[in-house]
Amino acid sequence: MAIIIRASNPSQIFIELKDDGYPMKTFRRCLCPIGGNWIGEAAKCDQNPLDTVRREIMEEICLEKRTASTIELDLLGIKPGRSFYQVPTIDQIPTSDDIKILDELKQVIAEGLVPFGDYINTIPKSVLDRSDPENERDGFSALVSYWAVALDEQRWKEITALQEKFGNLSNESITLVTSVDEIIEVGVKTAFGHDRPLKEFFLCYGLHSAQQFPLINGISSQEIGKPLASYQEYLERYEILKKPKFL
């Protein structure tokens, strides 16, 4: 997952929000760092978590609101309830300059990522049941690699200008620019156990207000070290149940 912040003010973050139609009700209207999973056809060429997050950035951040597939959710055992969907966007036609700037931004983000840490996030069934009495999904644990990039002022102004113009820069979720203080003030939660690693990330930057970062009760996160160099190393160290089918 990519933690995209402003270099001059690391409390500001470019992040996604799950919409009201997200199949896991617990995580509707929850924040989520940009990234994805090592699963599905597109993931077969990924050699490590850095490949995965870079691929997801290139695929997901765009100004064309293509119809998105829910195949990946289905592979993860999340019953999507719909085969395809399209995220909301402002009715604006991007110029060639808009597209060029966003393409350059994606390259800067992808090439600037530095490792923050690997965590095992555990979401018990009881947490899922709280928001959905009809929930049939078991609890689960996810091994998540977090990467960070701090955008300089020029790039931050570009991404915020595009965000303001189009209202959304993702074809899978809803992007927004926010801050630690705003997240705390609004009380918005973060999906899939990403809240605890994000809290630790902001505390590492000396943002003491992050002590009040909103957490979903019942979820746990265990730091296990830095991202490994290859998925083969993960397969040797951990029991990975969800992975590309050829493995």
* Digit-coded pLDDT (tens) for 114-146: 999 999 999 999 999 999 999 989 999 999 999
The whole-number pLDDT of residue 33 equals: 98
Max CA separation in the chain (angstroms): 48
The two structure tokens encoding residue 159:
């991404």
For residue 138, what is the DSSP state?
Answer: P
Enumerate the domain spans of the chain: 2-237
Task: Kindly tell me if the per-residue pLDDT of 42 is higher than 60.
Answer: yes
Residue 162's SS3 state is helix
First to last CA, the chain: 22
Which amino acid is present at 16? E
Please provide the average confidence, as pLDDT, over all residues in the chain.
91
Distance CA 171, CA 235 (A): 31
Task: Kindly tell me if the per-residue pLDDT of 172 is higher than 90.
Answer: no
The whole-number pLDDT of residue 120 equals: 98
